[in-house]
Amino acid sequence: MASLLIRNAVIMTMNPNDEVLQGDVLIEGNRIAKVESGIADGADRVLDAGGKVLLPGFVQTHIHLCQTLFRGRADDLALIDWLRKRIWPLEAAHDEESVYYSAMLGLGELIRSGTTTILDMETVHHTDAAFQAIRESGMRALSGKVMMDHGTEVPLPLQEKTSSSLEESVRLLEKWDGAGNGRIRYAFCPRFVVSCTEELLTGVRDLAEHYGVMIHTHASENETEIALVEAERGMRNVIYLDHIGLARPNLILAHSIWLNEEEKRIIRERGVKVTHCPGSNLKLASGIAQVPELLASGIHVGIGADGAACNNNLDMFQEMRLTAFIQKVQHGPTVMNARSVLRMATMGGAAVLGLADKIGSVEPGKLADLQLLDLEDFHVYPSYDADWYSRVVYAATRGDVDTVVIDGEIVMQGKQVRTIDKSRVLRESDRALSRLLSRL
């Protein structure tokens, strides 16, 4: 079992006591064995982290890798028009290779900015290609094909039969769940109520229970979306999901901006999880989620960048700043402090994904998913008597990420991603997009 010793770091543990230590981390295999000062040499590899800050890798709880190729192609639109006029036609034009390079482009960006785990939602077809990219990159991920068997203005290639959508999802689950040394887990991903029949949603409910996996869907992101659901199903999003038995602890809702009191009660009492996407929500003018209230009521809330087609980057540093700042405008400067936001980006995300016992903190026994920041630069100084949480959340940027470790393997060092051929991915992404656009 190979070992890696990271020495002389400032360690932001994110453990229950939020300890910040000066010391070493010993990794044996894919797990953290020791977190203390003065660990004796003898490891297979030794990495001197003097002057650097070590913290858990970020856990992003809502990503669309299949949309990275669409960066800059769907700007300045509201959600429903964004989907119908731009995103659905673009997704319908995907082929296997374009999905692969879209995923690789996003994965490279995520690793470069310190993210080590994602909850990803793909498109209807070619999901094997995305899983292949995830496996090659070294990323830890929950992911699944998007499911769509209903709705108006949906391009023909995205229109599924209910039975085939369920069958393909099960095929993918049985092939990929547990792949990559357990880094990859499957999640059922019905897009949202607007594009799913009740038969599909209840089928997902039963299959997820049978296989013991998570369900990920969008809900209450936009007021027009809620009106469409009410007009067709006779009730609001979360109330409808509860009505059909889908509101359970294995359900993760993306966005959840427009919730009434009954919906918040359902989420709290059923143990439903929520993922907050401030950059996407602001750019699409969808609204501002009631994150402080949700957290205060005991609801698990993570942070995600969403997709590059509605955010234009996948940067958790930017999302953390936005998570804090947009709430301060509404609720005052003391709300959403740096420590609570960093916890959302690490242990909070781990809890949303049901992985709090495995990732999200630097503690013995946890999986070795870590990042090293080099904060020796103008924009994060002075360092004297530093508040480390403030430096990371309010001042640091993705350019400060020096090294990333996932599952005990160094996937980036010296700001160079080892698992992805950058020049090839950039070149082939442009070619794939050109080919995709020719089909529109």
Bridge partner list, 115: 58
Phi/psi for 149 (5° steps) reads: -125, 20
Per-residue pLDDT of the chain (440 residues; tens, 9 = 90+): 899 999 999 999 999 999 999 999 999 999 999 999 999 878 999 999 999 999 999 999 999 999 999 999 999 999 999 999 999 999 999 999 999 999 999 999 999 999 999 999 999 999 999 999 999 999 999 999 999 999 989 999 999 999 999 999 999 999 999 999 999 999 999 999 999 999 999 999 999 999 999 999 999 999 999 999 999 999 999 999 999 999 999 999 999 999 999 999 999 999 999 999 999 999 999 999 999 999 999 999 999 999 999 999 999 999 999 999 999 999 999 999 999 999 999 999 999 999 999 999 999 999 999 999 999 999 999 999 999 999 999 999 999 999 999 999 999 999 999 999 999 999 999 999 999 999 99
pLDDT, position 358 = 98
Angle, nearest 10°, between helix axes 162-176 and 127-137? 20
Q: How many CB atoms lie within 10 A of CB 287?
A: 15
Close Cβ partners of 418 (under 8 Å, ≥ 6 residues apart)? 410, 411, 412
Q: How many CA atoms, within 13 angstroms, populate the side-chain half-sphere of residue 44?
A: 9
Contact 24, 37 (CB under 8 A): yes
pLDDT, position 122 = 98
Enter the DSSP assignment of 193: G
| pTM value surpassing 0.95 | yes
3-state secondary structure of 42: coil
Per-residue buried b or exposed e for 53-63, using 16+ beta carbons within 10 Å of the residue's own CB: bbbbbbbbbbb
Close Cβ partners of 101 (under 8 Å, ≥ 6 residues apart)? 69, 133, 425, 428, 429, 432
- Tokens for 256? 């959840």
Shortest CA distance to 192 belongs to which of 153, 151, 162?
Answer: 151
- Tokens for 78? 């509201």
pLDDT, position 1 = 84
